[in-house]
Amino acid sequence: MIDALAHHDHEQNHMRPPGLTRTTLLQGVEELVQRDRRMAGIVERHGPPPLFSRPRGFPTLVWIILEQQVSLASAAAMFDKLRTALAGDVTPEAVTALGVDGLLRLGFTRQKARYVNGLAGRIVAGELDLRRIAVLDDGDAERALLEVPGIGPWTAGVYLLMALRRPDIWPPGDLGLHKSLAEVRCLREVPSSVVAANYARRWRPWRAVAARLLWHSYLARRRQPPWGAP
């Protein structure tokens, strides 16, 4: 699946919106450092952030769904169970063959079993094409993802930010970002999703770079390594 996706991407590279690379990430970091002393403070203390990228495609989207409202470690453990059950081949066809009951036996919650099975079913039926989404602009790509049950603004945002590497995405409702923003700004309480999103507007057109800086600070303060990818 990954090889086929890479071939498709090569053919349509001229159409795809630009994604962050290590070079453009550092460009964005430099601009934010010049504009925002708090961003500069993160870089002074911890250095530039990782790219925090994940492969495009179905496995990553499943992984992000599993991360909804649980710890990263719990989501990783559940994804590993799925990957093991499918002999490493996490494809829409393999997931639909398992079905909701098979996912429940692996330990999925009923809700996430429905979400993941439904996502797989839409792709198998040709109702959702992640390769097409990869070449859409940010707004159209987000709207296409939000049509899928179980994919909300946070899930769509993280996919656009990490898998498609869009430079100006802010995933709403990310608790890690909110906590880090409170720490960096020395706030008395963690900001709401609306307050955090409004504050992030000052970082346009590099909101995804600012998010990486805040995640970088959050993990460094807790001495946690960057999370993995499928």
Write down all domains in the chain, each with its CATH number in brackets.
41-51+168-221 (no CATH), 58-163 (1.10.340.30)
CB burial of residue 18 (10 Å; 0-12, 13-18, 19+): exposed
Return the pLDDT at 34: 98
Q: What pLDDT, on the 0 to 100 scale, is given for residue 3?
A: 38
Q: Position of tokens 């989501």? A: 75
Q: What does the pLDDT read at residue 223?
A: 80
- Per-residue confidence (pLDDT) for residue 11, from 0 to 100: 39
Question: How much is the pTM?
Answer: 0.90
What pLDDT is recorded for position 224? 74
Tell me, what's the pLDDT at 205?
97
**Alpha-helical regions (H) of 110-174:** 110-124, 130-133, 138-146, 153-158
pLDDT score at 10: 40
Q: Which residues of the chain have pLDDT under 70?
A: 1-16, 225-230
The number of angstroms, rounded, from the C-alpha of 67 to the middle of its chain's C-alpha atoms is: 10
